């Protein structure tokens, strides 16, 4: 069930009405409704993988209790590692087994040994990377005595599988979400309206920006050998806004939907393309994942407190693992390593925390220095996205070689150039709105608050009209569903 589908447009109001008008007097009933709704939502993708979600939830729930009640540290450690190994084992089998088998066969082939690897013909369960990380953070926090184990299975299961965040995040923490699930929630009209406004903006990002950019990005990348460097560069730009509109659009819909039910999820994006350096970019892009790796991998490894070698090692580990988390392909690993290379000079010169506030805060325009910093950071990001989008390393190298050839100076050529120009105009208008609202949680959070009501509603109607006008004929899945 896609957020941008008719099915979800029917599903959401039904759950909302039952939640606030039928189950509103009982917290237990509300949470039970959320759990049943979440399992139904997930089973709409493929009911066969629902057992995996339920098994993972039961595993972490019971191992959490066993750790909490363990009489000595050795037993606590046993249950901890059981949960970690089984969780990562399922993730490894479904997501990474074929990658390792094929890579090992290629390695042996390089030494003259011909091997036909045995691979698994299974599809990747949607959301497995996200709900696995929910469970991992939970058991790690119990093991480190940061939290106590949850003894109500329904409450814990809602934390893992709450449908707005189930298939593509944000990656929640038990310390943040579980207290909200256990607390009585009351309907707040203003919060609900704010949630609807964020959902609207998320749908605009996904349908108008991401899906239309995808049409050109996909065609150009899929037929890269037929195009000049300038056209491939434009294709990379299209993909840059496709992935941002797609993923941040999903996050906006997720946060807005959760707000309808009185729940606040972790923020996942904070205008990353307005960043002045790569360190700031990673504080603003996929925030829940970046902070997860920081807290559960980077800091335990020693973070940036050691010598130069430790700083370099830990930086490469966290970025390469982050890249590998996205998918079982060498392109993601190179993408992660490239971002580590971008990040290291800032870290080693202690400049990685220079830009902690939003750019040009309280001002209409950035300074020339800030504009140049944003342009350079954006260019580095676009270059890295080529590896993320390419089918293979050879494909990425072919595209980059063409971009850095003399054909980069030719005019971009595309068969439907007029419509692509219209999409570029839409992207520019979108960026202006994002810039205007960059100090808020999402771009249109406070735009129009002081306008006359008719003007404000006309603005919302214009967004709805644009969504209807530019909606593709076929529902397009979100990019991060494949991760």
What is the domain range of residue 116? 6-187
In which residue are the tokens 């249950």 written? 79
Q: Are 13 and 261 in contact (CB under 8 A)?
A: no
Set 286, 326, 413, 449: catalytic member:
326
Asked whether residue 51 is assigned to any structural domain, the reply reads: yes
For helices 417-436 and 229-260, the axis angle rounded to 10 degrees is 50
The last residue of a domain, from among 153, 187, 221: 187
Q: Are 161 and 32 in contact (CB under 8 A)?
A: no
* 128 and 238 inside one domain: no
Give CA separation, 401 vs 47, 291, 386, 434, in Å: 44, 34, 12, 33
* 147 and 220 inside one domain: no
* 478 and 395 inside one domain: yes
* 261 and 386 inside one domain: yes
DSSP letter for 93, please: I
For residues 60-77, give the mean pLDDT. 94
Asked whether residue 319 is assigned to any structural domain, the reply reads: no
Give the H/E segment covering residue 416: none
Q: What is the DSSP string of 170-205?
A: ----HHHHHHHHHS-----HHHHHHHHHHHHHHHII
Q: Are 332 and 324 in contact (CB under 8 A)?
A: yes
Asked whether residue 328 is assigned to any structural domain, the reply reads: no
Say yes or no to pLDDT of 102 above 80: no
pLDDT band at 3 (very low <50, low <70, confident <90, very high): confident
Q: What is the C-alpha separation between 32 and 26, in angstroms, rounded?
A: 10
* 142 and 40 inside one domain: yes
For residues 133-149, give the mean pLDDT. 95
Catalytic annotation present for 219: no
Per the rule left: phi > 0, alpha: psi between -120 and 50, beta: everything else, 112 is left
Asked whether residue 290 is assigned to any structural domain, the reply reads: no
* 131 and 210 inside one domain: no
* 42 and 135 inside one domain: yes
Q: Is 406 helix (H, G, I), strand (E, B) or coil?
A: helix
What pLDDT does 45 receive? 83
The last residue of a domain, from among 187, 222, 254: 187
pLDDT band at 453 (very low <50, low <70, confident <90, very high): confident
Asked whether residue 11 is assigned to any structural domain, the reply reads: yes
What pLDDT does 119 receive? 62
What pLDDT does 427 receive? 94
Contacts for 373-381: CB closer than 8 Å, 24+ residues apart: 373/276, 373/277, 374/273, 374/274, 374/275, 374/276, 377/275, 377/276, 377/277, 377/278, 377/280, 377/281, 378/240, 378/273, 380/278, 380/342, 381/240, 381/273, 381/278, 381/281
Q: Are 135 and 59 in contact (CB under 8 A)?
A: yes
* 198 and 175 inside one domain: no
Q: Is 352 helix (H, G, I), strand (E, B) or coil?
A: coil
Asked whether residue 1 is assigned to any structural domain, the reply reads: no
* 67 and 206 inside one domain: no
**Number of structural domains, the chain?**
2
Taking Cα atoms as reference points, which of 154, 148, 153 lies closest to residue 174? Answer: 148
3-class SS shares of the chain: helix, strand, coil, % to 5:
70, 0, 30
Q: Are 132 and 83 in contact (CB under 8 A)?
A: no
* 129 and 202 inside one domain: no
Least confident of 97-101, 226-230, 277-281: 97-101
Taking Cα atoms as reference points, which of 197, 199, 161, 155 lies closest to residue 180? Answer: 155
Q: What is the C-alpha separation between 340 and 349, in angstroms, rounded?
A: 14
Q: What is the C-alpha separation between 166 and 45, in angstroms, rounded?
A: 12
Asked whether residue 396 is assigned to any structural domain, the reply reads: yes
Residues ≥6 apart with Cβ < 8 Å to 434? 271, 273, 274, 443
Residue 94 exposure: Cα atoms within 13 Å on the Cβ side: 19
pLDDT band at 126 (very low <50, low <70, confident <90, very high): confident
Q: Tell me the pTM.
A: 0.93
Q: What is the C-alpha separation between 443 and 435, in angstroms, rounded?
A: 8
148-173 residue pLDDT tens: 999 999 999 999 999 999 988 799 99
pLDDT band at 471 (very low <50, low <70, confident <90, very high): confident
For helices 50-69 and 27-46, the axis angle rounded to 10 degrees is 140
* 262 and 372 inside one domain: yes
Taking Cα atoms as reference points, which of 186, 239, 175 lies closest to residue 213? Answer: 239
Least confident of 23-27, 115-119, 300-304, 409-413: 115-119
Q: What is the DSSP string of 445-471?
A: SSTTTTS-HHHHHHHHHHHHHHHHHH-
* 267 and 137 inside one domain: no
Asked whether residue 403 is assigned to any structural domain, the reply reads: yes
For residues 440-456, give the mean pLDDT. 88
pLDDT band at 110 (very low <50, low <70, confident <90, very high): low
The last residue of a domain, from among 187, 222, 255: 187
Taking Cα atoms as reference points, which of 348, 399, 355 lies closest to residue 376? Answer: 355
DSSP letter for 363, please: S
């Amino acid at each position: 069930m896609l957020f941008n589908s008719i099915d979800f447009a029917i599903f959401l109001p039904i759950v909302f009405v039952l939640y606030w008008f039928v189950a509103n007097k009982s917290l237990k009933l509300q949470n039970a409704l959320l759990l049943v709704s979440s399992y139904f939502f997930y089973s709409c993708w493929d009911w066969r993988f629902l057992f995996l979600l339920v098994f993972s939830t039961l595993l972490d729930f019971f191992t959490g209790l066993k750790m909490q009640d363990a009489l000595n540290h050795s037993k606590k450690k046993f249950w901890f590692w059981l949960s970690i190994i089984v969780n990562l084992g399922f993730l490894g089998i479904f997501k990474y087994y074929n990658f390792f088998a094929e890579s090992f066969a290629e390695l042996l082939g390089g030494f003259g040994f011909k091997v036909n690897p045995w691979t698994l013909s299974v599809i990747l369960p949607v959301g497995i990377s996200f709900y696995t990380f929910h469970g991992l953070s939970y058991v790690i926090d119990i093991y480190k005595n940061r939290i106590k184990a949850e003894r109500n299975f329904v409450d814990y299961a809602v934390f893992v599988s709450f449908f707005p965040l189930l298939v593509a995040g944000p990656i929640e923490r038990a310390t943040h979400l579980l207290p909200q699930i256990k607390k009585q929630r009351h309907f707040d009209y203003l919060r609900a309206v704010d949630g609807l406004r964020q959902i609207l903006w998320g749908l605009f990002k996904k349908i108008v920006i991401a899906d239309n950019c995808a049409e050109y990005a996909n065609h150009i990348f899929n037929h890269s050998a037929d195009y000049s460097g300038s056209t491939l560069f434009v294709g990379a730009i299209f993909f840059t806004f496709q992935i941002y509109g797609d993923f941040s659009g999903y996050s906006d819909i997720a946060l807005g939907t959760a707000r309808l039910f009185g729940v606040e999820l972790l923020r996942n994006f904070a205008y990353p393309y307005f960043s002045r350096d790569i360190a700031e970019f990673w504080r603003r892009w996929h925030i829940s994942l970046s902070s997860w790796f920081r807290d559960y991998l980077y800091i335990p490894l020693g973070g940036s407190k050691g010598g130069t070698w430790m700083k370099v090692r830990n930086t490469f580990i966290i970025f390469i693992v982050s890249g590998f988390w996205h998918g079982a392909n060498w392109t993601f690993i190179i993408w992660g390593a490239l971002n580590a290379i971008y990040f290291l000079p800032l870290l080693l010169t202690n400049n990685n925390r220079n830009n902690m506030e939003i750019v040009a805060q309280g001002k209409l325009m950035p300074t020339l220095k800030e504009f140049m910093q944003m342009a350079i950071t954006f260019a580095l990001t676009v270059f890295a996205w080529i590896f993320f989008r390419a089918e293979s390393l050879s494909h990425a190298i072919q595209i980059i070689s063409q971009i850095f050839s003399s054909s980069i100076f030719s005019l971009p050529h595309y068969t439907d150039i007029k419509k692509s120009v219209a999409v570029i105009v839409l992207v520019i208008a979108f960026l202006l709105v994002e810039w205007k609202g960059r100090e808020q949680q999402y771009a249109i959070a406070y735009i129009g608050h002081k306008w006359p009501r008719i003007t404000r509603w006309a603005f919302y109607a214009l967004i709805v009209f644009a969504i209807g006008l530019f909606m593709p004929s076929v529902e397009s899945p979100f990019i991060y569903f494949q991760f």
